[in-house]
Amino acid sequence: TYVRTYVRTYVRTYVRTYVRTYVRTYVRTYVRTYVRTYVRTYVRRRRRTYVRRRRRRRRRRRRRRRRRRRRRRRRRRRRRRRTYVRTYVRTYVRTYVRTYVRTYVRTYVRTYVRTYVRTYGTVRSTVRYGTVRYGTVRYGTYVRTVRTYVRTVPYRTVPYRTVPVP
């Protein structure tokens, strides 16, 4: 009877890599408006042109002086009354638009490494004049059915005795 044991170990390694990329974009817009108003006021006085009429009548100097004074006063009053005010209003509106774009890119890399170790054990035992047997042997976490098989040995007939063939 002899026993032979065969142990085979298979190692498999699986490497999986997952790459995920997230892209986020933020857009911000700033709007600024500047309003400027210019006000200009112009004051204008209109002068009246008087047509001087010469009167041929002779008057006294005093009367002339008085009249001249009155006229001057009237002119001054009229000038004051006839004052024109013009107002110009100009409004400038400027709008500035600024847009900021920010992009964030995030990449996640995940690597999974899985290693499978399988061990197969075979026990062969040869027993003369035996039968075939089956058994179960455990190696670690794996169960492998091990065949224990027996072969019958052929014989040669010799006169006066029977000798098994080696």
Burial class (CB in 10 A: 0-12, 13-18, 19+), 126: middle
pLDDT tens profile 37-56: 888 888 877 665 555 555 55
Query: Which is nearest to 36 in space by CA: 87, 91, 104, 82?
Result: 91
pLDDT tens profile 101-125: 999 989 988 888 888 877 776 666 5
Q: Quote the DSSP letter at residue 57.
A: S
Instruction: Kindly report the pTM of this predicted structure.
Output: 0.28
- The pLDDT score that the predictor gives to residue 28 is 92
Q: What is the mean pLDDT of residues 60-73?
A: 75
Query: Which is nearest to 85 in space by CA: 58, 45, 125?
Result: 45
Contacts of 64 (CB under 8 A, 6+ apart): none
Mean pLDDT, the chain, rounded, equals 70
CA–CA distance, 27 with 35 (Å, rounded to integer): 26
- The pLDDT score that the predictor gives to residue 99 is 92
